[in-house]
Amino acid sequence: MASRLLSLSLDLIARAHPDTVPDDPDALTLLSDDDLAPELAAMLARRASPERGLWVFAYGSLLWSPEFAFTEQRVGTLRGWHRRFCLLQRRFRGTPDKPGFVLGLDRGGLCRGVAFRLDDADPHVTLMPVWRREMKGKGYEARWVSVETQAGPVTALTFMVNRTSDRYTGRLSDAEIADRIAAACGHLGPSAEYLFRTVEACAALGIHDRHLWRLQALVAERLHLTAAAPGIARQSRSDPERDPAG
């Protein structure tokens, strides 16, 4: 499976994006914990069958950078939604002038990802870090969904793209998305690194997503051209461990 990563690599990404980018707090207005807490409480109040455990369904950066400790993980399938780069990122891994992309769940199809089981002693405390990460930028809507796994279905919290957000792009072509991902970089690093790490995590889990695999090939082609330009030099990249998406 690793051979399907083609030519996209962290080395190529670093050569194409050697310069660091300062953070611009004005690029994206973020909700405070005081704003977020009532929404999380309301979501937990709508939770069905809490005796069956507290689960979160991951399909993007949560696969390689979860915001929580977990006691169990299962590869599973969510039907009626598909994984797609459809949410602009003007901060973190992009700028207002050159926004990157993050993944969202959009309507139709299916998505294979991972259902993580979390400690259920205090659901509000347990979920707040991931709730903050995904919801503070108003890019997502949270839902309880049914995820099919080999050990049976689980009800999990997950995050769909907010179609009313001005960051929602709709269904652009893979070439259009690749152009933006290849060009974008924020203070957390290039948008292409987010793509690479998601593809890498999916490959390790045995998840093959044609949208992701096609994009990493297209982005690699564009980065090879950028890295070949005069004046490109390698520099160390920023810490990728935390990747706010919302």
Exposure string of 186-215, with b = 16+ CB inside 10 Å and e = fewer, is: bbbbbbbbbbbbbbbbbbeeebebeebbeb
How far apart (Å, rounded) are the C-alpha atoms in residues 16 and 220? 10
In 10 A of CB 59, how many CB atoms? 24
Length of the chain (residues): 246
Residue 134 falls in the annotated catalytic set: yes
User: CA-CA-CA-CA torsion for 101, 4, 204, 222, nearest 10 degrees?
Assistant: -20
Say which amino acid occupies 30: L
Q: Give the whole-angstrom CA distance, residue 91 versus residue 231.
A: 25
Within 8 A by CB and 6+ apart from 5, the residues are 196, 199, 200, 203, 216
Whole-number Å distance between alpha carbons of 192 and 92: 12
Rounded to whole angstroms, how far apart are CA atoms 241 and 246?
16
Question: Biggest alpha carbon distance in the chain?
Answer: 60
Of 39, 51, 67, 134, which residue is the catalytic one? 134
- Tell me the C-alpha to C-alpha distance, in Å, between residue 179 and each of 89, 140, 185, 218: 14, 23, 12, 8
| DSSP H helices in 24-92 | 33-45
Positions annotated as catalytic residues are 134
